[in-house]
Chains A and B, each alone.
Chain A
Amino acid sequence: MSTNAIETLQFNCTTCPSECLLTVEVEHDANGTVVEVRSVTGNNCPRGDTFAHQELTCPMRVLTTTVAVSGGDEALLPVRTAEAIPLELHAQAMDLIRGVVVEAPIRMGDIVLKNLLNTNIDLIASMDIE
C-alpha cells in the first residue's frame, strides 16, 4: 500500500459536445497500473464519471478509415467500427483493414469485417456506394 502513488489528472470528457474538464484522482501501484479511480469531479452528468473510469483502465475509441472499392463510382468506402474498440488495437486493426477490397454496390451499415480482432465489434460501411 505504501508503494502506491496518488496522481491527479485533468482531461476533457469527449462523450458529448459539452467537453467537461474532468479532474480525476487516481491511485497507481509501483508498476504504474491503475489500482483505483478515487474521485472524478468537473463532470456535469454521470457519463463523465463512466468515461473517466474507462479512460484510465482501457481507453475506447471508434476507429474510422477507408477500404478500397471494386466496381463502384467511388475509389474508397469510408468504414467505422460499429462501436468503440480498445485504442491499443487501432494500429493492429489498420494493418488488417489495409488489405480489404469490397465489391460495390454497398449500403451504409453493411458489414465489411465481422468481429474485428475478436472484439465482437464489426467493421461497417459508413456510406452507400453504387
Chain B
Amino acid sequence: MATLDMRDERAEAGAVASVSTQAFDVAVIGGGPAGMAAALSAHKAGARVAIVEREQHLGGILRQCIHPGFGLSHFKQELTGPEYAQRFIDQVRAIDIALFLNSMVLGIDSDESTEDAAAHTVTLMSPTGMLQLTGRAVVLAMGCRERTRSEIKIPGSRPAGVFTAGLAQRYINIENLKPGSRAVILGSGDIGLIMARRCTLEGISVEGVYELMPYANGLRRNVKNCLDDFGIPLHLSTTVTRVIGHDRVEAVEVSQVDERLAPIPGTERIVPCDTLLLSVGLIPENELSVAAGVELDPRTRGAVVDQSLQTGVPGIFACGNVLHVHDLADNVTTESERAGAAAAAYALGDGAGAGAGSAGAGCELTVSPAGIAGYALPGRITAVALTKLNFRVRRPVDAARVRILAGDEELFAGKVRPFKPSVMESFPLPAKVIQRALDLGASEIVLSVDPIEEA
C-alpha cells in the first residue's frame, strides 16, 4: 500500500488547472471484490495500479454480507463475506497498489487523440482535495444499487419504515442500528432471504416473505437455510399492494396476483408490521460509465463489452456487478481477474491498437440473446478464441437447451437440462464455432435458450 500525501498547495488555491495529477497504467474504480481482483491481476501483469474507493475501507458490499456461502469455488472452502473480502484486502495491502480511500470519482475523461502517455483521466475528490489519476486503462468496478420502492411503484402512504433489504443489512451489520421490530419482506431475492434470517436472529420478527413471481428468486440454499430453518412463510404469486401508516409503517396490504402479475381483487389481506424490506432487484451503477461515453446494454443495464471485457470506449473495461448482476462473489472474482489482466495488457501494449481487440483482425461479431435467455455477455466478439459466454434465463424451466446460431445455421446445441433465473450461467464458446460463423459471413451470433416441450 502506498501512503499518499495529497496535500498540494496549488490545489488549495482552488484552480482546476492546478489539480495535482498522478500517473498509473490502470486506474480501478471501486474497492469491492471486483475492483480488488482486477487490481491484483493487473498488478500481477506488471501494471502500476491504483484503486479508488468511496468508503473508508476496502471490501465493498462484502463487509455487510456477514453470512457464509462465499469462496466455495475460488478458495474451495465456505467463507463469510468479510472473510472473503479480507483475503483480498490482505493481498492488496501486501503489494504496491496505490489506494485512494474515502474518495469519490467525479468523472472519467478520455483523450482519444493521445497516442501514448495517458488516454484517460480519472478525477476524484479525496479527503485532502481534488486529484487526477491518469492511465491508459480504467477498470469500472462500481458494483450495483438496489431497486427502491419508487421503481416498483407500491401505492399507499409514505411513512418511515420502508427500506431496501441491503440498507437494513447495513444498519444491522455495520452501523449497529435496528431498523424495526416486525418486518415484512417483499421479494425473494438472495438479500431478502438472508435478511429474513438475520432479522429473526436479532429479535426482529419476520411476518413473511412475499414474492410476485410463482417461484423463489434466490438460491435454493437460501430458501432452505434462511426461511425453512426458521419457519418463515414464503408467499408466492403475492405482492404488497399498499403501504399503510402515517409517521411509521403500521401495516401493509398484500394481494395475490394472476398469471399476468396483476393483483386479484378480493384477495387483499392486511399484514400488521412496522417495517417493509424490499429485495426487488439490483441495477448496475453506471452513472460514471455513461458520462464517460460507455454504451450500455438495456438488458443488463451494464456496459456492452467484448470478450476481453473492454467497453466501447478503448481502454475502459468493466467487471463485476457494474457489468451484470452476479449471484456469487466467486464469479465476480473470476471475471474481474480477466478484466484486470486485459486492462494491463492494453495499458502496457506498444502503441495504439495493442492489447485486447487486435487479436482477430476481421472478426467483428455481435452476440444477441434469444428464446428465454434474458441477455448474453459479451455483446461483441472481436477475436477467434475460446470465449466465455454468460447469460441468465428469464424464467425457470425443467428442460431446455442452449443453441448457438448464425443466420439460419445451428452451430452448436447443448444438452437438455433445467435452468433457473437465479443462476448466472456460463457457456464456453469454442473458437471453431466463432470461425464457422465468420466463414458463413455472419455478423451476429445468437445464443438461444429454448425450452423443450414435455414428451
B72 lies within 8 A of A75 (CB): no
B86: Cβ under 8 A from any A Cβ: yes
Return chain A residues, CB-CB under 8 Å to B72: 16-17
Stretch from A24-32, A38-46, A64-72 forming part of the interface with B = A64-72
Contact count band on A:
20 to 34
Q: A14-B221, A14-B224 known; A65 and B176 CB under 8 Å?
A: no
Out of A12, A68, A90, A128, name the residue touching B220 (CB < 8 Å). Answer: A12
Shortest CB-to-CB span from A77 to chain B, Å, is 9
Q: Are B85 and A127 in contact (CB under 8 A)?
A: yes
B176 touches A76 (CB 8 A): yes
A30 to chain B, nearest CB (A): 24
Distance between Cα atoms of A127 and B73 in the complex (Å):
20
Q: Is the CB of A127 within 8 A of B63?
A: yes
- A61-B108 Cα distance, complex, nearest whole Å: 45
Taking CB atoms and an 8 Å cut-off, the chain A residues in 95-109 that contact chain B are: 108
Report if B291 contacts A (CB, 8 A): no
The residue in A59, A64, A128 that gathers the most chain B C-beta atoms within 10 A of its C-beta is A64
Q: Does B229 contact A (CB under 8 A)?
A: yes
Do residues B86 and A65 form an inter-chain contact, with CB atoms below 8 A?
no
Contact of B86 among A19, A59, A94, A108 (CB under 8 A): A108
User: Which B residues between 420 and 454 are near A, CB-CB below 8 angstroms?
Assistant: none
B284 at the interface (CB under 8 A from A): no
Cα distance A82–B288 when bound, in Å?
Answer: 40
Would you call A75 and B68 a contact (CB within 8 A)?
Answer: no
Evaluate whether A75 and B175 lie within 8 angstroms (CB atoms) in the complex, with A12-B224, A14-B224, A19-B220 already known.
Answer: yes
Report yes or no: B221 in contact with A65, Cβ–Cβ below 8 A.
no
- The interface stretch among B18-26, B75-83, B133-141, B374-382 is B75-83
Q: A14-B225, A19-B219, A127-B85 are in contact. Are A75 and B174 (CB under 8 A)?
A: yes
* Residues from 12 to 60 in A contacting B, C-beta threshold 8 Å: 12, 14, 16-17, 19, 21, 59
With A64-B68, A126-B66 as contacts: A73 and B220 at CB distance below 8 Å? no
Q: Are B78 and A62 in contact (CB under 8 A)?
A: yes
Q: Are A75 and B66 in contact (CB under 8 A)?
A: no
Chain B residues whose C-beta falls within 8 Å of the C-beta of A91 in the assembled complex = 201
Q: Which of chain B's residues 61-108 have a Cβ closer than 8 Å to chain A? A: 63, 66-68, 72-73, 78, 80-83, 85-86, 89
Kindly state the separation between the CA atoms of A108 and B170 in the bound complex, as whole angstroms.
20
- Bound Cα distance from A64 to B221, whole angstroms: 16
- Binary A-proximity of B225-239 (CB < 8 A = 1, otherwise 0): 100110000000000
State the Cβ distance, B228 to closest chain A Cβ, in Å. Answer: 8
B173 and A78 within 8 A (CB): yes
Which residues of chain B from 163 to 203 have a CB within 8 Å of any chain A CB?
A: 172-176, 201-202
Asked if B328 CB lies within 8 Å of chain A CBs, one says yes
When each residue 195-217 of chain B gets 1 if its CB lies under 8 Å from chain A and 0 otherwise, what string results? 00000011000000000000000
CB distance from B419 to the nearest CB of A (A): 13
Q: B81 contacts which chain A residues (CB < 8 A)?
A: 78, 126
B229 and A19 contacting across the interface, CB-CB below 8 Å: no
Given A17-B328, A64-B80, A78-B80, decide whether A127 and B86 contact each other with a Cβ distance below 8 A: yes
Given contacts A17-B73, A90-B201, contact A78 B219 (CB under 8 A): no
Given contacts A17-B328, A78-B173, contact A127 B220 (CB under 8 A): no
**Given the interface contacts A11-B224, A90-B201, does A74 sit within 8 Å of B174 by beta carbon?**
yes
Please pick, from A59, A75, A126, the residue contacting B82 in the complex, using a CB distance under 8 A: A126
Q: Which residues of A contact B56 (CB under 8 A)?
A: 73
A36 vs B202: C-alpha distance when bound (angstroms): 35
B: residues with CB less than 8 A from A are 56-57, 59, 63, 66-68, 72-73, 78, 80-83, 85-86, 89, 172-176, 201-202, 219-221, 223-225, 228-229, 328
Closest 4 CB pairs of A and B: A127-B82, A78-B66, A14-B221, A126-B82
